[in-house]
Amino acid sequence: MDSKSTQTLTSDDNALNKDCADTMINPVDVSEIGVNDKMDFDYSKDETVDTWLESTERESGWEKCKRSLFKNILSLSLGFLFLFTAFQALSNLQSSINCDDSLGFASLSCIYASLIVSSSFLPPIIIRHLGTKWTLVICMICYVLYTCANYYPEWYTLIPASVLLGFAAAPLWTSKATYLTTTSSQYAELSHESSEIVINRNFGVFFMFFQSSQIWGNLMSSVVLGLADDSNSTEETGTYTCGADDCQKNNGNDTTFCNPPARNVTNLLITMYLVCGIIAIIIIIVLLDKLNGDQEKKTHQKPSCNLFLVTLKLLKDYRMELMIPLTIYSGLEQAFIAGDFTKSYVSCVIGVEMVGYIMICYGVSDTLFSFIAGYVAKYIGRVILIAVGTLIHLVLIVSLLLWEPRDDDGAIYFTIAIGWGMADAIWQTQINTIYGILFSDDKEAAFSNYRLWESVGFTVSFAYSIFICVYIKLYILIGVLIVGVFCYFIVEYKRWKNDNQGYPVDT
């Protein structure tokens, strides 16, 4: 083989050879072969039989390696599906099952406040010492402990568990993003595809699984809580203003619905969620391969320092500064649909029993369009997708401002949930993708920033919920969305201008 006519593989290929050594037939030293040698062996030449067999075995090995990488992507996605089937549904129920003294709201506030703190220093430290796989396992155990705390919800049990979960959340999501981005890049190298396209597609696959947890978690709660004896309910009294004019505190009515189901029914539901969490841990331990190669070594070689300093350093990058508003909006819009929409529009008008069904509809939409967005981006690009998501949310927010909800507007509630899920799918897949692409050399710090600023959006939304009217929250959403998308377009324009490779939507 003429070495001058071949292209030497990068160090990532050596990492791939290590990762896939167990699956390859007679693995070879990939540093001595070229890209075209791996996948495009010229059988028309007068090669010996042994050389032909060696090339055939080599190609078979690369295919096995690709299957192994995709298996890891599916295992990671499935693990998060089970974990967040429990956590997201349990979070949605906190204000109902732990409503005494607002313990449920306090729990959620502690989770996101702790997440902000942990995003500032924990992820690289934990990942450096444990690696990405075992960071996932340990953090998932913290989620399971939070589920267990709900068996006996008191201030001294649920709040510490919430703080622990908040500290575990940032390393969990950072290790997920690092693992998924690295594995996708390796897969792209084997497939001779653009790494951006593969990363985009695989984030779409991941969020298809992740967002479907809204479906299964809400379905489980709807079925199980339906077993509750209505005779245990207490009749709530008070006058509430629904829709955009919901200003409950300003109206002099500080009460909220507090009608928890029977304790035995709640414990049955918690047990089901506990089983889901344990299954998630088993999937990661058994099916997810440990991340080897250059990326894992690079993670271990990071200096031992406070990530708060790393976060500040990354904030000097104008691209990170410009991505902050849209990242905050991602947290604001998710908190609004889960909290304000379900309370001020759904429960207030057509009853709390409809919340589960509407959120299932939202979850189905989010799941399907997360999958679709990852593939559509290959053809129309991120810029157009972001523009579509912006248009959808602007139309929905304006509609919520103008609409006076009534109990016979059932189709409208489901339409809003579907539309909101479509747009959220775009935000989740595309924002994660652009972070992975822009900051590929410092993924841990970048995705820690992502979780940090998204958590700021969640925390701010929960914090001001009881002080301002819904219409003010909607105006805030419009303002942050417009600023965030404008800043994002600047990032894409500057990236296109620097690369000088044509219009950025083709990337």
Distance CA 80, CA 136 (A): 10
Chain position carrying tokens 């705390």: 149
Which pLDDT tens digit goes with each residue over 307-337?
567 667 778 888 888 999 999 999 999 989 8
Structure-block tokens of residue 433: 């993708």
Backbone phi, psi, residue 8, to 5°: -70, 140
- pTM here? 0.70
8 Å CB contact between 459 and 112? yes
Which pLDDT tens digit goes with each residue over 394-446?
999 999 999 988 888 889 999 999 999 999 999 988 898 888 888 877 776 78
Distance CA 378, CA 245 (A): 42
8 Å CB contact between 146 and 94? no
3-state helix, strand, coil split of the chain in percent (to 5) is 80, 0, 20
Q: What pLDDT is stored for residue 52 in this prediction?
A: 44
Distance CA 61, CA 21 (A): 9
Residues contacting 353, CB < 8 A, separation 6+: none
Second CATH level (architecture) for the domain 61-506: Up-down Bundle (1.20)
Distance CA 1, CA 37 (A): 9
Distance CA 387, CA 472 (A): 24
Residues contacting 42, CB < 8 A, separation 6+: none
List C-alpha distances in Å: 347 to 237, 338, 409, 413, 474: 14, 12, 13, 11, 18
Q: What pLDDT tens digit does each residue of the chain (507 aa) get?
A: 444 433 333 344 444 444 454 443 333 333 333 334 434 444 444 455 455 445 555 556 667 787 888 889 999 999 999 999 999 888 877 766 776 776 777 788 788 888 888 877 777 788 888 888 999 999 999 999 999 999 999 899 999 999 999 999 989 988 898 888 888 888 878 777 777 788 878 888 888 888 788 788 888 887 887 666 444 444 444 556 788 887 755 444 444 445 567 788 889 989 999 999 999 999 999 998 887 655 555 544 444 455 567 667 778 888 888 999 999 999 999 989 887 887 778 877 877 667 778 888 888 898 888 878 877 887 888 889 999 999 999 999 999 999 988 888 889 999 999 999 999 999 988 898 888 888 877 776 787 788 778 888 988 887 777 678 889 999 999 999 999 999 999 998 888 777 765 544 434
Backbone phi, psi, residue 7, to 5°: -110, 120
8 Å CB contact between 204 and 371? yes
Distance CA 214, CA 88 (A): 7
